[in-house]
């Protein structure tokens, strides 16, 4: 039996946040990233939404023995979705790939939800390590929802898998947020 794989396009790109083996670069076709609100939490989710003609760079990694339980728990608030042959990658063939996405019926347009900067830092750190500065630029440019306020919780991170960033990594995140005129609020 061949292990299934997941496709990660957010914090799962940062290999310091998980232990899944055989990670490699991949692209999910006909999907786009977006920050979305739900009733599950008072912070927004980074999700993939179907959109023809777009693609998302990320990583695939094996889920040994098809044991999805820990990953499903980690990705609470998302649904595991078959990637339906939409993932391109190099290397040995993979017969089953899934990604996580917020169900369209769970998305909301109201509320005072925020993006956690500690979460965004983790995502950007992963993209920088895997895809370099061009990959970070592409992450910001191919993600919708930057009009959502961002809570600066770096001093006391609320994100459970927060990572320590170097000064250069922190400056890179901040430069992109400034470029996008993002509203960053100081944490309490």
What are the pLDDT digits (tens) for 40-98? 887 898 999 999 999 999 999 999 989 999 999 989 889 999 997 899 888 777 778 99
Q: Domain of 90?
A: 5-186
Helix axes 167-179, 117-141, angle to 10 degrees: 60
What would you report as the CA-atom Rg of the chain, rounded to the nearest whole angstrom? 16
Which of 6-15, 25-34, 41-50 is the least confident region? Answer: 41-50
Q: pTM, whole model, 2 decimals?
A: 0.93
CATH code, domain carrying 157: 3.10.490.10
| DSSP code, position 161 | T
Which residues partner with 177 through β-bridges? none
**pLDDT tens digits, one per residue of 106-138:** 888 776 789 999 999 999 999 999 999 999 999
The conformation of residue 17, written as its DSSP 8-state character, comes to: G
For 16, the 3-state DSSP assignment is helix
* Mean per-residue pLDDT, 29-50: 91
CB of 6 within 8 A of CB of 12? yes
The percentage of residues in the chain with a pLDDT greater than 90, rounded to a whole number, is 74
Q: What is the DSSP string of 160-180?
A: TT--PPPHHHHHHHHHHHHHT
**Three-class SS of residue 167?**
helix
**What does the alpha-carbon distance between residue 104 and residue 47 come to, in Å, rounded to a whole number?**
10
Which pLDDT score is estimated for 59?
96
**How many structural domains are present in the chain?**
1
Q: Is the pLDDT of residue 1 over 60?
A: no
Q: Would you place residue 105 in the very low, low, confident or very high pLDDT band (cuts 50, 70, 90)?
A: confident
């Amino acid at each position: 039996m061949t292990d299934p794989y997941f496709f990660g396009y957010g914090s799962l790109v940062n290999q310091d946040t998980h232990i899944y083996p055989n990670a490699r670069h991949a692209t999910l076709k006909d999907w786009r990233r977006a920050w979305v609100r739900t009733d599950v939490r008072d912070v927004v989710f980074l999700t993939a939404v179907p959109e023809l003609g777009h693609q998302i760079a990320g990583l695939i990694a094996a889920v040994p023995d098809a044991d999805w339980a820990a990953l499903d728990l980690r990705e609470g608030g998302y649904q595991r979705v078959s990637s339906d042959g939409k993932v391109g990658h190099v290397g040995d063939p993979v017969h089953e790939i899934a990604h996580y996405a917020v169900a369209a019926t769970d998305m909301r347009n109201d509320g005072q939800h925020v993006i956690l900067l500690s979460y965004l830092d983790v995502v950007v750190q992963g993209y920088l390590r895997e895809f370099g500065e061009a990959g970070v630029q592409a992450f910001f440019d191919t993600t919708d929802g930057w009009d959502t306020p961002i809570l600066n919780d770096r001093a006391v991170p609320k994100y459970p898998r927060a990572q320590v960033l170097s000064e250069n990594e922190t400056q890179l995140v901040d430069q992109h947020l400034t470029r996008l005129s993002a509203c960053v609020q100081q944490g309490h």
